[in-house]
Amino acid sequence: MEEPKTKLKVYCETSFWSFLNGRPTPVAHVALKQAATLQWWQDIAPTCDIFVSQYVGDEAEEGNAEDARKRIRSIEAFPLLDVSVPAISVLAMSLIAAHAVPPDETTDAYHIATAAVHGMDVLLTWNCRHMANPVTLPKTSAIVTKAGFTCPVIITPADFIERKGEFGYVL
């Protein structure tokens, strides 16, 4: 694999870690997401700078205790982005106020805001309802840009692999 010219800064949202650490399943669509996540992790992650935040850590602790321990262990090695930056809350609330993210999904808005404020190139997620949603992405991008930040590419691991050439990867 050829490395891209500069390392991508990738914010891996909680759903990424859930699929990376998920138990094997006979459910086809879940197994496909797990396989794509593992492929991204093995083929592309080593050439990226990976980041998480306290929001990822908090969500990773939820659910089955054994699964939570796996998720927490997998994120411990990566730098935590500072979530106390005031611009993060302002941007998250703007995303919610403009209905880019529903008001009952505030953490999703905070993931997007954290990635944008910290200049991440990519926000990797399996959340296609509120983040990697082609219907809401233009609105999200416009809000982030209006706030003075560059919107990261919000994408699933499978879509990233499919579009890897756009990111400078030749596998």
CATH number of the domain enclosing 133: 3.40.50.1010
> In this structure, is residue 25 part of a structural domain?
yes
Look up residue 34 and give its two tokens.
């797990």
Residue 27 pLDDT greater than 80, yes or no:
yes
Average pLDDT for residues 89-96, to the nearest whole number?
Answer: 98
Count CB neighbours of 124 within 10 A.
31
In this structure, is residue 90 part of a structural domain? yes
74: region left, alpha or beta (phi > 0 left; psi from -120 to 50 alpha):
alpha
Percent helix, strand, coil in the chain (nearest 5)? 50, 10, 35
Q: 57, 54, 56, 46: which is closest to 7 by C-alpha?
A: 46
Mean pLDDT (the chain) is 93
Asked whether the predicted pLDDT for residue 106 surpasses 90, the reply is yes
Both tokens assigned to 93 = 């609330």
3 within domain boundaries: no
Q: How many domains does the chain have?
A: 1
Inside any domain, residue 1 = no
Helices 86-97, 137-146: axis angle to 10 degrees equals 140
Question: pTM for this structure?
Answer: 0.93
Owning domain of residue 128: 9-163
Question: Sheet harboring 80-81: ordered strands across?
Answer: 80-81, 49-53, 9-12, 122-124, 153-155
Residue 133: pLDDT band (50, 70, 90) is very high
In the chain, the DSSP E strands lie at 9-12, 49-53, 80-81, 122-124, 153-155
65 belongs to a structural domain = yes
Residue 105 lies in a domain: yes
For the chain, the straight-line distance linking the first and the last C-alpha, in angstroms and rounded, comes to 5
Please name the residue that has the structure tokens 């699933």: 156
